[in-house]
Structure 1
Amino acid sequence: MIKLNINDEISRLRAVVLGRADSNGPIPKLEHAYDPKSAEHIKAGTYPTDEDMTLEMDEVAKVLEKYDVKVYRPHSIADYNQIFCRDIAFVIEDKFIIANILDDRSQEIDAIEDVMKQIDPSKIIEFPEDAHIEGGDVMPWGDYIFVGTYYGKDYSNYITARTNMKGVEHLQKLFPHKKVKSFSLRKSNTVADENALHLDCCFQPLGMGKAIIHKEGFLIEEEYKWLVDFFGMENCFHIDKREMYDMNSNIFSIAPDVVISEKNFSRLNKWLREHGFTVEEVPYAEIAKQEGLLRCSTLPLIRD
């Protein structure tokens, strides 16, 4: 049995699901793109290949194995995008929560059935159909759960709005002893550098009291300020629009002082090293073309 245990984003990682990219299928038609960045690369003829993305994910697997992390992979579904397993489920404490994701992606959860069979069934939770939530929007942080959402009445107009207020409220019911803190994110169906698809596209807490943040990803300045006050301005690495577009906030912590980061994030990686982090650099620029990066493609199951 897998004894789930996740209370934050940074404690020493012991077990994780890592997505896969070996059978993504043909390049999607433009009208089937789930986000503006994918659409941009479909139009430009630069959409990533399975081969390139598989090589990138294999590099991440090697780093995880170097740190003795148990790595689970979904079984392969032909012609189906299975990279971003953080979207489909997430763990808080000892509960495995199945996300309400876009209908087109519903088979992804079946591909981690082998993992779910090793989890106590009473710990597996599904949200009501009208309570939308995806793992990229959910960050357990000790007594808090940070959640990205979109408050606007036009929520249903945005394919890029993935977590609604009903999802936030349901999470609070599940974890009444936690403070669920929601943040309304900037959404765009058409402009990639003005779209925070998930909370981890514009913010991430790190070890040693640090955090990465992109101010413009937040629609409400007071909510951005709350996070900056929570971590302290001097501890926040602010990324600009281009760095947000490149997914600088979407790195992944293996331990409080160890992160996996994209090798081209030179400004961020230098800052991290200056502040005492071990930075394991991997190539991940091809996967980034689909508006997701390292946090999006990992689903932590056990941290110390």
Structure 2
Amino acid sequence: MLKLNIKTETSRLRAVVLGSAVSNGPTPKAAEAYDPKSLEHILAGTYPIEADMVQEMNAFDAVLKKYEVEVYRPECIENYNQIFTRDIGFVIDDVFVKSNILPDRERELDAINYIIDQMDPLKVVRPPEEVHIEGGDVMLWNDYIFIGTYKGSDYADYITARTNGLGVRYIKDLFPHKKVKDFDLVKSKIEARDNALHLDCCFQPVGKDKGIIYKNGFREEADYVFLVDLFGKENLFHITRDEMYHMNSNIFSIDEKVVVSERNFTRLNNWLRSHDFIVEEIPYAEIAKQEGLLRCSTLPLIRE
């Protein structure tokens, strides 16, 4: 039996589901793009190829194993993108929540059924159909659950809006002892530099009291101010619009002192090292072309 336990983003990782780029399928057509960044690369002819993405994920896998993390992988579905396991489910405390993802992606959940079967069935939940929530929008920070959402009246028009108000309410009801704070995110269907697909595209805590943040990812300045007040401005690394586009806030914590980051994030990686983090740099720029990075590729199951 898997004893699930996730209470914060940065405590010592023991078990994780890492996505897979094997048999990733052909380059999608423009009409099939789920986000503006993928669309940009499809149209430019620079969409990543499978061999490069497999190599990047192997590098990630090697770092996780170096730190003695148990790494699960989804079962392979032929010609199908299974990189971003963060979207398909998430753990809060000892509960596994299955996401209501875009219908086209339902098979991704089936591919991790062998892992879900090892969990206590009473601790596995699935929200009702009208409840939209994805793991990239859910962040645990001690007593807090941070949730990215989109409050615009045109929510239904945005394929990039992944978590709705009902999703926030569902988590509040499921975890009444937690402080649930939602953040209204900026969405765009056409400009990746102005699209916070999930909360982890514009914010992520690191270590004990630090965070990476992109101010213009929030529709309401009050949401940004809330995080500045909570963490302290001196503890937040502010990324630029271009750094947000390259997914600088989407690194991954193995523990409070060790982070996995993209090797090209020079400014961020230097800042992390200046605050005594061990930064494990790997190549992940090809996968980043699909508007997802290191945190998006992981579904943590157990942290100490």
Q: Which amino acid aligns with 1:186?
A: V
- 1:142 Cα offset (Å): 1.1
- 1:194 Cα offset (Å): 0.2
Superposition map of 1:125-164 within 5 A: 125-164=125-164
Task: Name the CA distance, whole Å, in 1 between partners of 2:262 and 2:187.
Answer: 24
Task: Name the CA distance, whole Å, in 2 between partners of 1:55 and 1:114.
Answer: 25
Q: Is 1:106 aligned to 2:102, yes or no?
A: no
Identity of aligned residues (%): 65
Q: Is 1:268 aligned to 2:268, yes or no?
A: yes
Give 1:187's aligned residue. 187
Give 1:122's aligned residue. 122
Give 1:53's aligned residue. 53
- 1:208 Cα offset (Å): 3.0
Q: Which amino acid aligns with 1:2?
A: L
- 1:280 Cα offset (Å): 0.3
Deviations 1:168-217 (A, max 9, x none): 00000000000110000000000000000000000000113100000000
- 1:48 Cα offset (Å): 0.4
- Aligned residue for 1:242, secondary structure, equals helix
Task: Name the CA distance, whole Å, in 2 between partners of 1:284 and 1:195.
Answer: 20
Give 2:225's aligned residue. 225
Task: Name the CA distance, whole Å, in 2 between partners of 1:229 and 1:209.
Answer: 12
Contact residue 261 and residue 280 of structure 2 kept, 8 A: yes
Count of aligned pairs between the two proteins:
304
Task: Name the CA distance, whole Å, in 2 between partners of 1:26 and 1:274.
Answer: 42
Q: Which amino acid aligns with 1:180?
A: V
Q: Which amino acid aligns with 1:176?
A: P
Contact residue 252 and residue 294 of structure 2 kept, 8 A: yes
Q: Structure 1 residue runs of 4+, over 4 Å off?
A: none
Task: Name the CA distance, whole Å, in 1 between partners of 2:129 and 2:171.
Answer: 14
Give 1:8's aligned residue. 8
Task: Name the CA distance, whole Å, in 2 between partners of 1:239 and 1:102.
Answer: 29
Give 1:235's aligned residue. 235
Give 2:198's aligned residue. 198
Task: Name the CA distance, whole Å, in 2 between partners of 1:182 and 1:14.
Answer: 28
Q: Which amino acid aligns with 2:204?
A: Q
Q: TM-score if structure 2 supplies the norm length?
A: 1.00
Task: Name the CA distance, whole Å, in 1 between partners of 2:231 and 2:206.
Answer: 10
Give 2:80's aligned residue. 80
Q: TM-score if structure 1 supplies the norm length?
A: 1.00
Unaligned runs of 5+ in 1: none
Q: Is 1:91 aligned to 2:96, yes or no?
A: no
Unaligned runs of 5+ in 2: none
